[in-house]
Amino acid sequence: MADAPPQSRHRLSSLGAGRRNPFPAALKHTARVARLKRGIVWSLAGAAVLGVAFAAFQFLRFLPVDLRFAHVALEGTRITIQTPKIVGYRRDGTPYELRAKVGVQDVSKPDQFELEGLEVKLDSGNQPSIMLTAANGVYDAKTDRADLGGGVRIYDGKNFDLALDTAAMDFKAATLTSDRRGTLKLDGMEISANEVTFLQNERQATFVGDTHTVLYGEKDESETEAAPDPAPALKETKDP
């Protein structure tokens, strides 16, 4: 019997040889594709964060008040601002300075700040400055108003001290209003009522509904020698 042609023997020997395993190469390709997908996702996320941060800083730049802060952190669309300081001006041109321990701003509401540990200094021209403090509040830079809560206090450190549960402060009009019970402490007396309005420029307090007054008596002559600064004028309005 004649031998098989050389070409046939070569084909038979190649069929019998061991084949290359395709699985390692496929696994490497899959891992490479997964890495590329992760890279694309992280790139898009980073671009989105940068876009939000850029937009937020643009909003902060064009606010109608002077805003300064120590540190900013970004989480989603919310910006946490450490020790923000806001400087604005009332209608008569006198300044006010608002400080807080922490401020949070959502870029979807660029004019509003959620504040904790507020302390406001209200300039009163030739008279002593008035201080306003609150545990928390929401400040609207567009309207120059703040809704305050957690215990509100407005005082001049010498003549009067008004304590409220909650209040709304209109910085432009220099007016503080509250529909919750408040207590005003003056020299030798204390007044409380269901609603209180305080006008900073006139230093005038108006009380509405269920007004209660307590007199502590006269001061000693030694304590009344120095003439004090004018205390707030008082108005009492009873419910009809």
| Predicted local distance difference test score (pLDDT) of residue 28 | 58
Supply the pLDDT for residue 42.
Answer: 53
Name, in order, each residue with C-beta under 8 angstroms of 68's C-beta and a sequence gap of 6 or more: 84, 85, 86, 87
Residue with more model confidence, 235 or 85: 85
Q: What is the pLDDT of residue 184?
A: 94
Res. 228 pLDDT band, cuts 50 70 90: low
Compute the distance between CA of residue 60 and CA of residue 79 in angstroms, rounded to an integer: 11
Residue 46 has a pLDDT of 47
Please indicate, yes or no, if residue 79 is contained in any of the structural domains.
yes
The total of structural domains in the chain comes to 1
DSSP secondary structure code for residue 47 in this structure: H
Domain assignment present for 230: yes
- For residue 2, pLDDT over 80 is answered with no
Question: How far from chain centre, in Å, is Cα 28?
Answer: 50
Per-residue confidence band for 86, with pLDDT thresholds at 50, 70 and 90? confident
Q: Is the residue at 218 inside a domain?
A: yes
Q: Where are the beta strands (DSSP E) in the chain?
A: 66-68, 71-75, 78-82, 85-89, 95-99, 102-106, 112-124, 127-140, 145-155, 161-164, 167-170, 175-178, 182-186, 189-193, 195-199, 204-208, 212-215, 233-237
Domain of 77 in residue numbering reads as 63-237
Binned at pLDDT 50, 70 and 90, residue 36 comes out as low
Cα distance between residue 91 and residue 170, in whole Å: 11
State the burial class of residue 105 (Cβ atoms within 10 Å of its Cβ: 0-12, 13-18, 19+).
buried
Q: What mean pLDDT comes out for the span 93-113?
A: 88
52 is a domain residue: no
Which structure tokens are listed for 34? 């997964």
Q: Is the pLDDT of residue 195 over 90?
A: yes
**Closest alpha carbon to 203 in 228, 185, 237, 230:** 230
Contact in structure between 115 and 137 (CB atoms under 8 Å): yes
Amino acid making up residue 71: H
Terminal CA-CA length for the chain: 131
Residue 54 in domain: no
Instruction: Identify the pLDDT of residue 217.
Output: 66
We report the CATH number of the domain holding residue 147 as 2.60.450
Cα 47 to its chain centre, rounded Å, is 25
Higher pLDDT, 150 or 36: 150
205 Cβ partners below 8 Å, 6+ apart? 160, 162, 184, 191, 196, 197, 198, 199, 232, 233, 234, 235
The CA distance from 15 to 17, in Å, is 6
pTM exceeding 0.75: no
Considering just the CA atoms, what is the radius of gyration of the chain in Å? 35
- Residue 1, domain member (yes or no): no
Q: Is residue 125 part of a domain?
A: yes
The per-residue pLDDT for range 112-140, each reduced to its tens digit, is 899 999 999 998 777 888 999 999 999 99
pLDDT at 171 over 60: yes
φ/ψ bin of 31: left (φ > 0), alpha (ψ from -120 to 50), beta (otherwise):
alpha
Residue 22 CB contacts under 8 Å (≥ 6 apart), including other chains: none
Q: Which of 5-9, 135-139, 187-191 has the lowest mean pLDDT?
A: 5-9
Q: Return the pLDDT at 187.
A: 84
Say which residue, 60 or 136, is predicted with more confidence: 136
